[in-house]
């Protein structure tokens, strides 16, 4: 399978984040990229540096001033008094506080939704590269039928105008919108990261031309808490085109695969021109921040079932944190997907 990546992925290097009163090591480490890259290369997949398609496909999903903020904030950090190694904020805008300030100090709390998304020296280059990997994979499915985007940092918690949950640009959504424009057809997104794809839901919530579904841990007591419930089904003309399948913490392969099969039936009924799989591997049993018990076999079965839809598919990397199973689960997923497509 072709693996689209950008060599700048490792340049985003968050060190710590503030979790319930304590600073802990940041789980979204550069090694996630190198471990996954080395594993796919060792398994014989073809590594391709993503072409640079510029800002236009990013701006097709994201707010222009938000993207400008992400691109420029490191260079303009002198405007945020006291910043040394990273731009991070302890103040946050809330929905009822709807004034957008002019100054950078206020803007950091307007655009960054939590303390998991610092901006450091290499952040923009990595974030931009991750989006380009998603775009390049979308452009590749025309002839290949499927491709994998090794996106880092991940994207599905990023809304049109905010970063959060380790995410800055919504790579999955950027790929979906790119496919929609290129194919002039309806696009389905299937998010199997253990966390609800709240940014992706938000981006497409009022649209029916992109059908979003997410299978994840019940947000009642799990990140992202404020979205991801089963009664969130879309708005306006998008009513009925968002679907959440929350599952209890501790969910195992059997339960997860039943929910997956339910989601796949809905995709088949929608008859999309293409599919984007938001592939979080943090549903894995030994993931350090996950809460499901998905095994390597579970990921392989999921890949096989998804592949059997026979729809052109972009697989975009979302979460999945450093542990022994991380590279093994990616290889299992990609191999099973490819084998099912090639009728093996």
Does residue 232 bind ligand SP5 (CB under 6 A)?
no
Does residue 19 bind ligand SP5 (CB under 6 A)?
yes
Contact call for residues 316 and 171 (beta carbons, < 8 A): yes
Binding mask 9-28 for Zn ion (x = CB under 5 A): --------------------
Q: Which two tokens stand for residue 187?
A: 């696009």
Catalytic status, residue 157: yes
Contact call for residues 204 and 240 (beta carbons, < 8 A): no
Q: Please state whether beta strands 46-49 and 2-5 pair in parallel, antiparallel, or not at all (unpaired).
A: parallel
Binding mask 282-321 for ligand SP5 (x = CB under 6 A): x-----xx----------------------------xx--
Cβ neighbours for 315, distance < 8 A, ≥ 6 positions apart? 137, 146, 147, 148, 149, 276, 277, 279, 333, 334, 337
Does residue 280 bind Zn ion (CB under 5 A)?
yes
Give the residue, chosen from 167, 319, 321, 323, that forms a contact with Zn ion under the rule CB under 5 A: 319
Helix (H, G, I), strand (E, B) or coil at 328: helix
Give the residue, chosen from 282, 287, 311, 321, that forms a contact with Zn ion under the rule CB under 5 A: 282
The residue of the chain with the least Cβ separation from ligand SP5 equals 319
Residue whose CB is less far from ligand SP5, 140 or 284:
284
User: Which one of 149-157, 173-181, 201-209, 333-341 is the stretch in contact with ligand SP5 (CB under 6 A)?
Assistant: 149-157
- In angstroms, what is the C-alpha Rg of the chain? 19
Q: Using CB distances below 5 to 8 A depending on partner kind, what does residue 154 bind out of ligand SP5, Zn ion, none?
A: ligand SP5
Size of the site for ligand SP5 (CB under 6 A): 19
| Helices and strands (DSSP H and E) totals, the chain | 10, 10
Gap between the Cα atoms of 214 and 196, Å rounded: 6
Which residues does the annotation mark as catalytic? 157
């Amino acid at each position: 399978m072709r693996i689209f990546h950008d060599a700048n992925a490792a340049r985003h290097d968050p060190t710590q984040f503030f979790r319930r009163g304590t600073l802990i090591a940041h789980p979204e480490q550069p090694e996630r990229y190198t471990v996954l890259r080395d594993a796919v290369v060792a398994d014989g997949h073809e590594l391709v540096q993503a072409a640079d398609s510029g800002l236009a496909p990013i701006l097709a999903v994201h707010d222009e001033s938000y993207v400008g903020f992400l691109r420029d904030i490191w260079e303009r950090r002198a405007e945020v008094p006291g910043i040394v190694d990273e731009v991070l904020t302890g103040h946050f805008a809330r929905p009822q506080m709807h004034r957008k300030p002019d100054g950078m100090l206020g803007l950091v709390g307007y655009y960054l939704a939590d303390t998991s998304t610092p901006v450091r020296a290499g952040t923009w280059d990595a974030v931009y590269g991750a989006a380009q990997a998603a775009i390049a994979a979308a452009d590749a499915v025309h002839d290949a039928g499927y491709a994998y985007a090794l996106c880092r940092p991940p994207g599905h918690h990023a809304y049109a105008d905010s970063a959060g949950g380790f995410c800055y640009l919504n790579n999955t959504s950027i790929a979906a919108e790119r496919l929609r424009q290129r194919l002039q057809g309806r696009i389905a997104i299937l998010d199997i990261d253990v966390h609800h794809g709240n940014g992706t839901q938000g981006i497409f919530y009022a649209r029916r031309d992109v059908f979003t579904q997410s299978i994840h841990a019940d947000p009642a007591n799990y990140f992202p808490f404020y979205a991801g419930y089963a009664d969130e089904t879309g708005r306006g003309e998008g009513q009925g085109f968002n679907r959440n399948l929350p599952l209890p913490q501790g969910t195992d392969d059997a339960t997860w695969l039943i929910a997956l099969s339910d989601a796949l039936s809905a995709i088949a009924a929608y008859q999309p021109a293409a599919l984007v799989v938001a592939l979080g591997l943090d549903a894995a049993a030994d993931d350090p921040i996950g809460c499901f018990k998905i095994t390597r076999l579970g990921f392989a079965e999921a890949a096989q079932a998804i592949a059997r839809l026979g729809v052109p598919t972009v697989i975009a990397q979302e979460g999945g944190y450093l542990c022994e199973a991380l590279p093994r689960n990616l290889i299992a997923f990609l191999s099973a997907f490819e084998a099912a497509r090639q009728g093996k």
